[in-house]
Amino acid sequence: MLKFPVLIGDIGGTNARFAILLDAYAEPREFPGVRTADFASLDAAIEAAVLDKTSVRPLSALLAVAGPVDGDEIALTNHGWVVRPRAMFETLGLEEVVVLNDFEAQALGVVALGPQHMEKIGGGEAEEEASRVVLGPGTGLGVAGLVHARHMWIPVPGEGGHVDIGPRSPRDFAVFPHIEAIEGRISAEQMLCGRGLVNLYRAVAAADGVEPRLSAPAEITAAALSGGDAVAAEALGVFVTCLGRLAGDMALVFMSRGGVFLTGGIVQKIVPALKDGRFRAAFEDKAPHSALMRAMPVHVVTHPLAALAGLAAYARTPARFGVETEGRRWTSA
């Protein structure tokens, strides 16, 4: 049980979002999010974004970070911050720090949020206590599972965004050679995140021998959805199709009869493209298990702060969740 007040934080590669939970019955008090690039460290961001804005002094912190949690120095995968929990006792006056993976928090959020925060993308009805999987294209690509066992929801973190992804259709074989590789391989994160959408846009342009005119994910998304740019439209189509393929793969790994959940700002902005049939077609194209896939529901999580909602739910009722904290919990005593 964490000591209240609890500082909760969702620390991504681009943005950091914070709230304070006064007790197990209070709603989180949210603070304006900050850009990670604007601060030298997480501690500095917490000082400026939270502690300078309230007289409440949190006794503990529950933080979700975009990277694997291993040891006393936790590096973010797509940003230069290194989280040092032990140093926070002195710099922030905390007595306890628990650090989870950011997609553990997203998985907890799937349980914490109700249907009013979901938009369904096809499939049948979810089995209430069946396994679930969460995917989120953002600064990177996060993946986590969620398993129900022993009357608890157990999040299963990992680095599933870095699995291999390859061409399948004839058009894929024309476009994929132009996608930027890392050490000779194309991982899912090279395509299914903000910079991945830019990679796809440039690859489609190169395959067609045209000069790319857009450079930001938001520009490409807007141009694709408006129908004003054929290259952007195809890039978003490849993005949606490959996201469907990967989501289907992960659904098979976790046998996600409880549903597949897509999170983050990118998917919230491209719901029309996700609902036009290409995502579901790719998701279900898993012979010999196509019938199984057709039954699995997919939802876009529409809540803007789903990870904070998941962290708050865990802080309030830790017995509801099977979160392993060994090696990820530090105390000042």
Question: At residue 10, what are phi and psi to the nearest 5 degrees?
Answer: -110, 110
Question: At residue 232, what are phi and psi to the nearest 5 degrees?
Answer: -65, -40
Predicted structure pTM score: 0.92
Confidence class for position 298, pLDDT limits 50, 70, 90: very high
Residue closest to 333 by CA, chosen among 5, 57, 94, 100: 94
For the chain, strand residue ranges (E) read 6-11, 15-21, 29-35, 60-65, 74-75, 82-83, 96-101, 118-120, 132-137, 141-149, 152-157, 260-262, 298-301, 329-331
In this prediction, residue 139 carries a pLDDT of 86
Residues 243, 239: Cα–Cα separation, whole Å:
6
Beta-sheet pairing, 15-21 with 6-11: antiparallel
Confidence class for position 71, pLDDT limits 50, 70, 90: confident
**Residue 333: pLDDT above 80?**
no
Residue-wise pLDDT tens digits, 237-284: 999 999 999 999 999 999 999 999 999 889 999 999 999 999 999 999
What average pLDDT does the structure give for the chain? 94
**Among 110-114, 153-157, 241-245, the range of highest mean pLDDT:** 241-245
* Mean pLDDT confidence for 37-60: 95
Residue-wise pLDDT tens digits, 203-237: 999 999 999 999 999 999 999 999 889 999 999 99
The strand pairing partners of 256, in sequence order, are none
**Residue 172: pLDDT above 90?**
yes
Place of tokens 């740019």: 229
- The domains of the chain, with CATH numbers, are 6-101+305-331 (3.30.420.40), 114-301 (3.40.367.20)
Question: At residue 134, what are phi and psi to the nearest 5 degrees?
Answer: -125, 130
Distances (CA, A) of 328 to 17, 72, 155, 321: 20, 8, 14, 15
